[in-house]
Structure 1
Amino acid sequence: MKALLLVLITSLYLSASNGFVTPKELNALLENKNLVLIDITDKETYDAGHLPNASLANVDDFRKQVQKHQLMKSSSEIEAIARSLGINNDSIVVIYGHGKKKELLKSSYVALSLIVNGAKNVSLLNGQYDDYAREFKVEKETPKVKKGNFTAVYNPDILVDLEYVKSHITKIPMLEARSPEYYYGTELSDGVQRAGHIPKAMSSFWKDKFNKDNTLRSKEDLDAIFMQGYALQKEDEVILYCTGGLEASMNWYILYQNMGLKHAKLYDASMKEWGNRNDTPITKFKWETFTK
C-alpha cells in the first residue's frame, strides 16, 4: 500500500510539473523504485558529485553522424541505451545537467530521444544540478544499475526531414532556436556554410525561455512568448529547428511536454543539413512573421 501511494504521489508531482520538476519535488521522490535519474555531463564532473543513484549518460550515445549533420539513432539503439541506464517501461525518468547551458540542451535532446521512442514519463530538473546541490545531499559513488526492460515504440509524427520542411514552408509555422545574429544572417553558425534562415521561419532563441539562473520562465511568460508572440494554438503543427538539433530540442520540449502542443515537430538535421546545400532556399537580413 505504501509503495502504491508513493507511485501515485510521484505521478502527481511530475504531472503537475509539466515536464519540469523542482529540486524539492524530486528530493521527495528519491525513494520511489520507478525513479531513474540521468546525469548529462562529462565523467570528471559526474565523479565530483551527482544526484543519488544517478547514471551518467552522453548525448552522443543517442545520436549518429550523417554527412555534415547528426541524427537521432535508431529505435533499437535507443532502446538498448535506455535499458543500460536502467529504464523500464514504467520508469519515471528525470534528466539534468550541471549548470552549463550546453548540458541543458543535451538534456532536452535526450528527453526528446526517449519520448520519440515511447517513454511516457520524462521530466527535466528545473535549475539542474546546482540548484539541487544547494539544498540537498549529493553523492560521488557510481551506482550499480540493473538493466531495464524498456521497449521502444517509435512515434513517426515528431521528427521531420528536409523534404517535409521544404513542402511545408508556407503551410505551417516554423521557429528557429539559434541566436538572432545567425537567424538574421550577419554571422555564420559553426559548421554551416550559408548565412540566414529557412524562408518564413520566425526567430525564437531557445535561451529566452529561461531565467538567468537556468530555471524555466513562468507559464505566463511562456504563454506570452509562444501563444501570443507567435500566435500559436495547442492544436497547431509547428516545426522547430536550429544549428544541429540541440537548441531546437529545447523549444520542442517546452512546447510539447510543458505547454501541450502535441503536434510540435523537430527538424533534427537543421541548418547543418539545410545550410550546407545549394538547392535549399535561404532568407537573410529579414525578420519574419508567419502567414499562410
Structure 2
Amino acid sequence: MKTLLLSLLGSVAAFAIEPLINTTWLQQHLDDKNLTIVEVSSKKSYESGHIKHALHTTIDRWRMNNGTFISVRTPQEIQNEIQSLGINRSSDVVLYADIQTPKDFLKASYIFWALHYHGIENVALLDGGKQAWIKEGAVLDRYTAQTESSNYTVKTDPARIADRVYVENHIGKLPMLDARPSDKYLGITPTATVARDGHIKGAMSYSWNYSVDNDYKLKNIKKLEKLFTQGYQLDKENEVIVYCTGGLETSFNYFVLSGVLGYKHVRLYDASMKEWGNLEDTPMIQYSYEVFQK
C-alpha cells in the first residue's frame, strides 16, 4: 500500500511543473513529451533565434482594445490560441519573453494569468527570460516549431478576475495591491492614458519590479514571502485584488503571489486604471500611502 501511494504521488508530481523554472531545468527537460515551450515576442525576434521546440505567440493574440482600456480576449479567441499551441489541461507550459523592455517581460506574466484564468494550471515562467538562456551560452534554434492542435475547451475561473463593480463593492473589505511605480500610485506623475491621478481608494502600493533584480530574475523567495506576510499582512487563505495601469504590470504581482508564493485567492482587475481612472465617480485617493485595515 505504501509503495502504491508513493508511486501515485510520483505520478502527480511528474505532471505538476513549478511556476518558476531556470535555464538548467529547461535544458534538462527540453525533450519532455508533455512540455510546451512558448516564446512571447515579435515574429522577427522569434525567427532570429529561439529555444529549441519553442512555439510562438504575441500578446495581441491574448488582449483586445476596448477603447479606453485593454482586456483579455473572448473565451473563444483564447481557446483558439490555446488549441493552436497544442496546449491541453495536462500540458506543462513554459513561457518566456525576449526581454528588450520591461513591457516585454510583463507580456509573459500576463499570459501566465490568462492561462490560469482559462483553466490551464501547469504553467511556468523561465527566470530571466530569453536573455538568461543566451547568457548561459545555450543554443538558439531557427527552425519554426510545429505542433498538432489540441481540442481543449476553455473553462474560465471567475475567481481569477475582477471587474469594476467587484472592485468597488470590496473597497475596505479586501486588500488591494497597486503594481505601478509609487509616483503613479501617489498621483504625483500623471499617466497619459488615465484622466485622474492617484490610486483606488484603500489600495496599497507595491510596484511589480520590486520582485526582480536587474536581470529580470526573481528575488529571494523567502524574503518575498516575509515581505507580503509580515509587511503587507496578506493571508494566503484570504482574497487579494491586484491591479495596475492596464493589466500587464499587475500580472507579475499575480504571478508572484498566486504562482510562486501560493496565495489561493488572487483576483486580477484586468481593465485597471485605464478604466477606473477614466471614470468620473470611482473612489480615488491622491498624495498618500494607504495600509489595508478591515
TM-score tier by shorter-chain length is over 0.9
For structure 2, the 5+ residue unaligned runs are 1-6
Counterpart in 2 of 1:138? 140
CA contact (8 A) 1:38 1:56 kept: yes
For structure 1, the 5+ residue unaligned runs are none
CA distance in 1: counterparts of 2:132 and 2:286, whole angstroms = 39
CA contact (8 A) 1:118 1:155 kept: yes
Identical-pair percentage: 37
Counterpart in 2 of 1:125? 126
- Answer yes or no: is 1:250 the counterpart of 2:245: no
CA contact (8 A) 1:89 1:151 kept: no
TM-score (norm 1): 0.93
Q: 3-state DSSP class of the match of 2:234?
A: coil
| From 187, 190, 206, the counterpart of 2:189 | 187
Counterpart in 2 of 1:79? 79
CA distances 1:170-208 after superposition (whole Å, capped 9, x unpaired): 101000000111001111123111100001100000000
Q: Structure 2 matches for 1:4-15, cutoff 5 A?
A: 11-12=13-14, 15=17
Size of the alignment, in residue pairs? Answer: 284
Query: Shift in Å at residue 11 of structure 1?
Result: 4.6
CA distance in 2: counterparts of 1:48 and 1:103, whole angstroms = 16
CA contact (8 A) 2:15 2:92 kept: no
CA distance in 2: counterparts of 1:127 and 1:230, whole angstroms = 26
CA contact (8 A) 2:15 2:90 kept: no
CA distances 1:62-117 after superposition (whole Å, capped 9, x unpaired): 11221200111122221110111121222110000022321221001111111111
Q: Structure 2 matches for 1:27-176, cutoff 5 A?
A: 27-100=27-100, 101-135=102-136, 136-176=138-178
Q: What letter is aligned with 1:27?
A: Q
Q: CA RMSD in A?
A: 1.7
CA distances 1:19-67 after superposition (whole Å, capped 9, x unpaired): 1101100111111111111111111111111111111111111112212
Distance verdict in 2 for CA 1:12–1:152, change over 3 Å: same
CA distance in 1: counterparts of 2:148 and 2:13, whole angstroms = 22
CA contact (8 A) 1:14 1:123 kept: no
CA distance in 2: counterparts of 1:86 and 1:11, whole angstroms = 22
Counterpart in 2 of 1:238? 240
| From 181, 195, 198, the counterpart of 1:196 | 198
Q: 3-state DSSP class of the match of 1:190?
A: coil
Q: What letter is aligned with 2:162?
A: V
CA distance in 1: counterparts of 2:150 and 2:287, whole angstroms = 50
